[in-house]
Structures are given as structure tokens and as C-alpha cells.
Amino acid sequence: MQKKFTYKQSGVDINNTTRLVKYISNLSNKTKIKGSSIRNFKNIGGFGSLFDLSQYNIKNPVLVSSTDGVGTKLEIANEMKKFDTIGIDLVAMCVNDLIVQGAKPLYFLDYIAIGRVIEKKYKDILKGIAKGCKISNCYLAGGETAEMPGVYTGNKFDLAGFSVGAIDKKKIISGNKIKNNDIILAIPSSGIHSNGYSLIRKILKDKKIKYTKENKKLFHDLLTPTKIYVNEITKLVNLNLINGSCNITGGGLLENIPRVLKKGICAHINLDNIKVQNIFRWINKQGVEEKEMLKTFNCGVGFVLFVKKNNVKRIQSFFSKQFKPYILGSIKKDKNTKIKFNGKIKF
């Protein structure tokens, strides 16, 4: 008799993920915003997610999209067996890119690839995603879960996110308004955010640093979720207080700031001004030199604004004490160079 095979025998239990659809739907409902409800249609469980853009008073709407993941920060979560904040990182990495152009994030979708769905782990990941959407006032419109035994073994998994925002065509922040003598404001990061973790994990491996009771504070700092800047930046965009902005992600200050500068101007950065968190001091002490720090990590600067000098104090009033922007440098004319560093970071 020929042997009979089932999908479950291969390691994929469709019934398991189907049972969790109601849980996902409840999380999605908690993130609903204007435009997320379509009559006689449910996004969760459908083949595609719908969003009604007409509910927003945008005269000439332009859609802005962003996709990203959280890289090998996942491995820190795995080592700590703590998965309730990694979803916040996933949302942050997408929506913080949308607001660089001034777009208001509208909806978010996730993709979870995992060897086997373990209910508590899976729910914790989704809770974090929903929390990130709630913080950014962005609708969790749907997603996809792929059980992939053999590709993801043991506790391995991966996350990817996709987000869409909108902005009036005339209000797009392109960087073209950045001018000579504009002030560069640094908005503090919450920590490392979600970049540079392959280097961090290399340090942990080579120095045999494990998650123990003694190292609990270090690993807590490593897993601190990425700050979501949506609410503050959206208010500044609505008041036309920003000439340009920049999300400091992979490539650090060295690579990201020049991306938004037009030809003929240069960002003069005073490294002495950077307010460095202890986690970056720890990384530096492990043997990562300043130049490598600048092109790998945010070094304490999570987001950058280019603004008129007379708007600085007003802009600062929109932020809490922890994330209050401070002057990082200024814009000067320069035909050949996009960024110059002065001083030295106080590690």
C-alpha cells in the first residue's frame, strides 16, 4: 500500500494558524483609524486589504510606501526569549521612513516566516506589531504567516513589514528647501534601534557574552524598541516647520544625512554635541572605533531635522524631555562635500 502524506506531517499545521485568525482580527480592530473600515468587507481573512483614502482631506494625494525588517536583532530576542517588543521595531523601521517625506502613515502589513508557530511567541510578536501601529496611529490591515520547517530550524524566525502613507503633493518634503545656514537638529534615539546587530552579535560571540543575570541590563538595552517619531513629526509637517528630515538607520550618520542634501550644500556636524547613551559607550569600549560607529550606528541620534533658526524653540516644544531635539550642526555652502564632522563623540 502506498504511504499517505499530509501537510501536517511535513511540519505545517494549517489548523494551528487558522485558530489564531480571531486573535489577529481583535488586534487589528484595536488599531482602526479613519478609512480602515469598508462596509461589508473584513481585511483580516481576505486576500487583500482595503483602505479608503477618500476619507482624508488631501487635495492632491501621493502615496508613499516603505518596507523593512529588524535584521539580526531577532537573535537578541531569541536569546532572551522575549518577543513582545520586536514588533514595535518592525513598525518603527517602516513608518519612520515614511515621515521623512512628510507622509502620514495609514496602514501596515506584516510578514512572519517561522519554522513552527508557537502560540505564545507568535502572540507576543503580534502584540508588539499592534502596539507599534497604535503608537503611530497606523492601521494594522493584515499580514501573512509562513510556517517553513527546514528553512527556519529551532527557534529561528524572520519578520518583514510594509507600510503605506499619504501626503499632499505640494507638501512633500524632498530636501530641496534645505538652505545655507539652516540648523540641523538631532532628535535622540531610544537606543540602537534596529541596525548594526550583526556587529553587536559578533562582539557578543567573540567575547563569550551570554544572557545571564549579571548581563540582564546589557541585553535589556540591546532589545530596547526603536523610537517611533510619527506623532511629533506629523505635527511639525502640518505646521510647515521642517525644510528636510532624515531617519538615521543603516549607514548611521555618515551615510544617511547626505541622502537628503541637494548639490552645493554640506552638513557641518559637531560631534561634541551628540548626547550618547551608555549602550554606545559600551560598544565603543569593545573595540569599535569612532568612524566605524558613525557609519554603523545612530550613536544616539535617531532622527534629524533641517530647520530655520527662528523655528528651533517652537519645534523643541513638541517633544518630551527624553526626545527633545538639540542643535547638532548647520548647513553651509559647499560644491564638493555633503558632510563634514567636527569635534569628537564623548564616548
pLDDT for residue 7 is more than 70: no
Give the CATH number of the domain where residue 243 resides: 3.90.650.10
What does the mean pLDDT of the chain come to? 93
pLDDT of residue 297: 97
pLDDT of residue 307: 98
Give the CATH number of the domain where residue 142 resides: 3.30.1330.10
pTM for this one?
Answer: 0.94
Determine the structural domain holding residue 317 and report its residue range.
183-191+227-342
Q: Where are the beta strands (DSSP E) in the chain?
A: 61-69, 104-114, 139-147, 157-168, 183-188, 244-247, 265-270, 301-307, 326-333, 339-342
In a domain, 220, yes or no: no
Residues 246 and 158 occupy one common structural domain: no
Q: Nearest Cα to 262, choosing from 314, 216, 207, 331?
A: 331
Q: Whole-angstrom Cα distance, residue 194 to residue 250?
A: 8
Residues 108 and 231 occupy one common structural domain: no
Give the rounded distance of the alpha carbon of 325 from its chain centre: 18
Residues 17 and 91 occupy one common structural domain: yes
Residues 231 and 312 occupy one common structural domain: yes
In a domain, 206, yes or no: no
pLDDT of residue 167: 96
In a domain, 67, yes or no: yes
Q: Nearest Cα to 81, choosing from 249, 210, 270, 250?
A: 210
Residues 48 and 162 occupy one common structural domain: yes
Residues 154 and 234 occupy one common structural domain: no
| Cell (9 digits) for 312 | 528651533
Residues 233 and 329 occupy one common structural domain: yes
In a domain, 120, yes or no: yes
